[in-house]
Homo-oligomer: A and B are copies of this chain.
């Protein structure tokens, strides 16, 4: 067996959290940087995770009445101009197509040629182009609601990129809906936020706080933006999904009008909502440890890996035994799939293989050699326990319990993340405590700070400056808070508004 290092990932979370994150991605073979600035390659293990995310969300979207469609990658520049706040929000970071062919250049290479009459923007989001199509599709109140989702790639030319969290190109889904009434559109916005929260908590095992964004953090052009916010293991917040009530802003900009049942021309009410491959970043930072990726079993590309250990004379018998176990597992349903099993019979040292699967976050490992077979047993390692904490189970017990072990692991991950968030969330009533809470004790480790702060708050320009200096933002105005009045921690003014404050990704 290969000698395992003290931890499989170096540095550890405590030594250097941002670098640990990169190393987990590398060791799990989730993704890597491409030669194109800010764009990553999603490798098969990472893409399989995305496929599982897609499959579950897609079903949820369809169950809530949505259908998928596909709209152009390109948006004419003039479309972006139609909604003033929207263009303000996206003009500074978009890829612009200006030519439609290449021709030989004087230096023997190539140069752009065939200038377009109007530049095209690679979609950073599709409100404007989808709004244009909605305006063609909607004539009468009978054409509403339109409930559409698109799975697509989008591009935002971010200056500082980080794999999965902020890349120039990323994959996402964007829901776009149009409704006859404000109430319906608001209900849609809430429904989809709840779908996201449900997915985060019950599939990703990631507890989230649901709430509304403050004005400064709203989607450009929205009337209200709702979000789910999760705490990462460095106590920073990550916005994991957003749902926007767009009012009639885009309907007016795009002329999405319908004849009401009273015969009046009326603007529709629209919404949009999205989650992206950022969810994979959130999943990594919520659950993984110093030995690498830890996956919620419900989304793991594989649930069980079987590692046969044999010499030449025991090979066939061991492989047969492993296959029997695999077949018995593959007949069982866990969450929305049958249990996915891999038998890893590669010609590699056993220790190396075990560590590869630990780093990739496979929930259950079975090491099976002649002695296990003789005892009609399996030797099991669980990814939610230490790498050496393995146990022997009889084959039939393991097969009978496999689903409940996976369920237990899923629950454990959620509970652990919830406890971590609760342990690192503090209700704060005054400015000094707030400041101390968010000031790192050790300047070399700026990530070690308080966590989430819950505090009464009243909007104030001086508060904004104060927060900016601490690099803290208002993550959301949470839904679930009591509305008993209290005093703003900063201004001392009375208010019933509570906010969640945190440093954030």
Residues of A within 8 A of B (CB): 32, 34-36, 39-44, 46-48, 50-51, 67-81, 87, 91-103, 109-112, 114, 119-122, 129, 132-133, 148, 152-153, 155, 157, 169, 171
CB pair B119–A122 under 8 Å, yes or no, is: no
- Alpha-carbon distance between A42 and B130 when the two chains are bound, in angstroms: 12
Assuming the contacts A68-B48, A71-B34, asked whether A97 and B96 have C-beta atoms less than 8 A apart, the reply is yes
Q: Which of A40, A80, A96 has the most CB of B within 10 A?
A: A96
27 contacts between A and B (CB under 8 A): A34-B132, A34-B133, A36-B76, A36-B129, A41-B70, A41-B72, A41-B133, A44-B148, A46-B69, A47-B69, A47-B70, A48-B67, A50-B70, A51-B68, A72-B169, A73-B122, A74-B169, A77-B102, A77-B109, A81-B110, A91-B110, A92-B101, A95-B99, A95-B100, A96-B97, A96-B101, A102-B121
Assuming the contacts A68-B51, A97-B95, asked whether A73 and B153 have C-beta atoms less than 8 A apart, the reply is yes
CB pair A72–B39 under 8 Å, yes or no, is: yes
CB-CB < 8 A to A46: which residues of B? 69
Smallest Cβ distance from A191 to chain B, in angstroms?
A: 19
CB pair A120–B78 under 8 Å, yes or no, is: no
CB-CB < 8 A to A40: which residues of B? 72
CB pair B36–A120 under 8 Å, yes or no, is: yes
- Alpha-carbon distance between A78 and B109 when the two chains are bound, in angstroms: 8
Smallest Cβ distance from A155 to chain B, in angstroms?
A: 7
CB pair A74–B110 under 8 Å, yes or no, is: no
Assuming the contacts A36-B76, A36-B120, A169-B74, asked whether A99 and B100 have C-beta atoms less than 8 A apart, the reply is no
- Alpha-carbon distance between A34 and B70 when the two chains are bound, in angstroms: 11
CB-CB < 8 A to A133: which residues of B? 32, 34, 41
The residue on B at minimum CB distance from A122 is: B97
CB-CB < 8 A to A68: which residues of B? 44, 47-48, 51
CB-CB < 8 A to A74: which residues of B? 36, 39, 95, 169
Smallest Cβ distance from A295 to chain B, in angstroms?
A: 17
CB pair B101–A91 under 8 Å, yes or no, is: yes
Q: Which of A81, A99, A133 has the most CB of B within 10 A?
A: A99
CB pair B67–A42 under 8 Å, yes or no, is: no
CB-CB < 8 A to A132: which residues of B? 34-35
Assuming the contacts A44-B68, A67-B44, A74-B36, asked whether A112 and B96 have C-beta atoms less than 8 A apart, the reply is yes
Closest 5 CB pairs of A and B: A39-B72, A44-B67, A91-B102, A42-B70, A96-B99
- Alpha-carbon distance between A96 and B79 when the two chains are bound, in angstroms: 19
The residue on B at minimum CB distance from A79 is: B35
- Alpha-carbon distance between A51 and B54 when the two chains are bound, in angstroms: 13
Smallest Cβ distance from A41 to chain B, in angstroms?
A: 5
CB-CB < 8 A to A35: which residues of B? 76, 79, 129, 132
Assuming the contacts A120-B36, A122-B122, asked whether A112 and B98 have C-beta atoms less than 8 A apart, the reply is yes
Smallest Cβ distance from A385 to chain B, in angstroms?
A: 28
CB-CB < 8 A to A152: which residues of B? 153
The residue on B at minimum CB distance from A157 is: B100
The residue on B at minimum CB distance from A130 is: B41
